[in-house]
């Protein structure tokens, strides 16, 4: 029923071809175009459109002598320049007794001044120029960004480079950053959705895994200014960094400016990202094949639910099929089964969806989630589980498969809708060691998938009988409801601070 109309691809170019799907609607369809506005179909279901063909501009990639990778893409529409830096550092390096070190290092690189300027001078200079610099270090990578008016580029770039190369970690700013993190720790049980998200992550990867572990008042209190300076010196190097430069500049002048501020930065030893294997709750104590439920008590009006299990990495051959299954199950809002069933038909939730979160270094997570009033908790869990089971038991319908493919192909152009989107996608792929045409390959695989492919992938990779389920809510009656689904453990949250 659904087949490509045309394929256009020129080698070694980023080629976006949107559309290619034949409409599955009734015969007698008629193409609509702007020129034919007067002859418009009155029934939008009958409308058909040509594929959108688009050759997005291709950024230039080059490597400086010190190993720094630079992507450049000029875009002269507005007098702005944006430079991003993606850094091979991250919270995976946090010592166990100082969890939170990488995150605070990112914050204080930005706030703590540089060798050339005090912390206050940096802030005043940037804000007077209406320039933005941000720095953040996450679990698997660090990122920084300069967003500056073209006229202030040289000045902004100097400060940006100094922040990356010679942050001063002003002691007062370090102290304040620690106090703010400790305050956030004190407040992290205030929001039921935040509790649910963090406790679910611990069920998936284990409480000590870098993806799930949490900083504590004690771990943050131990972090010193010297720890931060040493962390920066050890992990931030030009040869572990990818710059993305977009906006209103000219190549030659920009390269000269970049060489001026980064050229004499010597290479360092770039650390490989090493992560321990996940330790899903129950995996090593004979409960691997059973459902396990955990419960956190909180005086809420809804039960806040998360359920899921570990899944594949992004380069798994079954990833395209699983991505489409997720779209059909609950990844596509209105169109998805969970939305149609639990929200539209039953009126049991406002927010209900599924997600397939994947990376390149650890198994991903297949997740379903919803919030529902206490009295409908049992029904919502049952429906979440039965929708997962159905994916394993029956093939998806032709209509569902066609809709999912068409939506994927027709929205593909939005992955390339701005210069910064184009460049940041390529940087993300390079950082993760994926080919630069990964998205195009994914699209080509998606359009070839059959119902049988999806059913096979579901049978191989979905395990509704082994779900890990996390619920936040009041204990009265809820504990009894949950125990109907399997073994329930209560998580007692310790008051912090």
Which one among 7, 208, 221, 411 touches other proteins, defined by CB under 8 A? 411
Which one among 27, 35, 252, 286 touches other proteins, defined by CB under 8 A? 35
Question: Interacting stretch for other proteins, rule CB under 8 A, among 53-61, 197-205, 450-458, 462-470?
Answer: 53-61
Sign, CA torsion 29/34/39/42: positive
Give the C-alpha separation, 146 to 122, whole Å: 13
**In Å, how far from its chain's centre is CA 293?**
26
Q: Does 54 bind other proteins (CB under 8 A)?
A: yes
Q: Does 335 bind other proteins (CB under 8 A)?
A: yes
Residue with Cβ nearer other proteins (180 or 441): 180
Minimum distance, C-beta of residue 401 to other proteins, in the bound complex (Å) = 12
Minimum distance, C-beta of residue 127 to other proteins, in the bound complex (Å) = 4
Q: Does 221 bind other proteins (CB under 8 A)?
A: no
Which one among 30, 33, 154, 386 touches other proteins, defined by CB under 8 A? 33
Contact 144, 201 (CB under 8 A): no
Residues near 243 by beta carbon (within 8 Å), at least 6 away in sequence: 68, 69, 70, 71, 83, 84, 85, 258
Phi and psi for 122 in degrees, rounded to 5? -60, -50
Give the C-alpha separation, 210 to 276, whole Å: 8
Question: Interacting stretch for other proteins, rule CB under 8 A, among 154-162, 354-362, 401-409, 430-438?
Answer: 401-409
Which one among 68, 75, 144, 292 touches other proteins, defined by CB under 8 A? 75
How many residues interact with other proteins (rule CB under 8 A)? 94
Which one among 60, 65, 97, 127 touches other proteins, defined by CB under 8 A? 127
Question: Interacting stretch for other proteins, rule CB under 8 A, among 186-194, 251-259, 277-285, 312-320?
Answer: 186-194
Show contacts with other proteins in window 305-324 (CB under 8 A).
none
Q: Does 30 bind other proteins (CB under 8 A)?
A: no
Which one among 199, 215, 362, 406 touches other proteins, defined by CB under 8 A? 406
Which one among 298, 383, 425, 468 touches other proteins, defined by CB under 8 A? 298
In the block, tokens 């960004």 appear at 145
Q: Does 372 bind other proteins (CB under 8 A)?
A: yes
Residue with Cβ nearer other proteins (9 or 124): 124
Q: Does 160 bind other proteins (CB under 8 A)?
A: no
Which one among 19, 365, 367, 447 touches other proteins, defined by CB under 8 A? 19
Q: Does 397 bind other proteins (CB under 8 A)?
A: no
Which two tokens mark 19? 């559309």
């Amino acid at each position: 029923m659904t087949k490509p109309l045309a394929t256009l691809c020129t080698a070694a170019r980023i080629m976006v071809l949107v559309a290619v799907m034949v409409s599955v609607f009734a015969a007698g369809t008629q193409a609509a175009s702007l020129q034919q506005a007067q002859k418009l179909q009155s029934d939008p279901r009958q409308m058909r459109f040509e594929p959108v063909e688009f050759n997005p501009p291709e950024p230039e990639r080059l490597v400086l002598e010190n190993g720094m990778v630079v992507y450049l893409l000029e875009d002269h529409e507005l007098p702005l320049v944006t430079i991003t830096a993606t850094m091979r550092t991250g919270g995976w390096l946090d010592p166990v007794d100082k969890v939170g070190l990488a995150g605070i290092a990112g914050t204080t690189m930005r706030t703590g001044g540089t060798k050339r300027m005090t912390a206050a001078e940096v802030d005043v200079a940037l804000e007077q120029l209406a320039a933005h610099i941000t720095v953040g270090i996450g679990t698997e990578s660090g990122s920084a960004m300069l967003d500056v008016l073209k006229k202030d580029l040289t000045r902004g770039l100097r400060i940006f480079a100094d922040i990356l190369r010679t942050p001063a970690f002003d002691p007062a700013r370090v102290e304040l950053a620690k106090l703010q993190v400790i305050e956030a720790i004190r407040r992290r049980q205030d929001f039921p959705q935040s509790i649910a998200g963090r406790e679910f992550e611990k069920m998936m990867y284990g409480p000590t895994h870098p993806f799930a572990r949490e900083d504590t008042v004690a771990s943050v209190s131990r972090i010193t200014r010297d720890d931060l300076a040493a962390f920066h010196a050890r992990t931030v190097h030009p040869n572990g960094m990818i710059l993305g430069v977009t906006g209103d500049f000219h190549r030659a002048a920009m390269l000269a400016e970049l060489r001026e501020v980064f050229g004499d930065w010597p290479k360092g030893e770039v650390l490989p990202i090493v992560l321990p294997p996940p330790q899903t709750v129950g995996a090593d104590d004979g409960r691997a094949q059973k459902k396990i439920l955990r419960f956190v008590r909180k005086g809420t009006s809804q039960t806040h639910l998360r359920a899921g299990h570990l899944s594949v990495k992004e380069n798994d051959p079954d990833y395209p099929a699983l991505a489409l299954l997720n779209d059909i199950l609950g990844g596509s809002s209105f169109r998805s089964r969970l939305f149609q069933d639990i929200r539209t038909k039953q009126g049991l939730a406002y927010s209900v969806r599924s997600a397939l979160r994947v990376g390149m270094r650890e198994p991903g997570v297949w997740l379903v989630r919803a919030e529902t009033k206490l009295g409908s908790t049992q029904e919502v869990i049952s429906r979440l589980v039965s929708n997962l089971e159905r994916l394993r038991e029956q093939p998806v319908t032709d209509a569902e498969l066609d809709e999912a493919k068409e939506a994927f192909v027709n929205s593909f152009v939005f992955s390339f809708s701005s210069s910064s989107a184009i460049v940041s996608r390529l940087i993300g792929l390079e950082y993760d060691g994926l080919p630069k045409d990964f998205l195009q390959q994914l699209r080509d695989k998606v359009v070839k998938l059959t119902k049988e492919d999806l059913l096979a992938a579901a049978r191989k990779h979905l395990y509704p009988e082994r779900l890990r389920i996390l619920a936040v809510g009041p204990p009265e009656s809820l504990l009894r409801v949950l125990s109907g689904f399997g073994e329930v453990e209560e998580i007692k949250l310790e008051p912090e601070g």
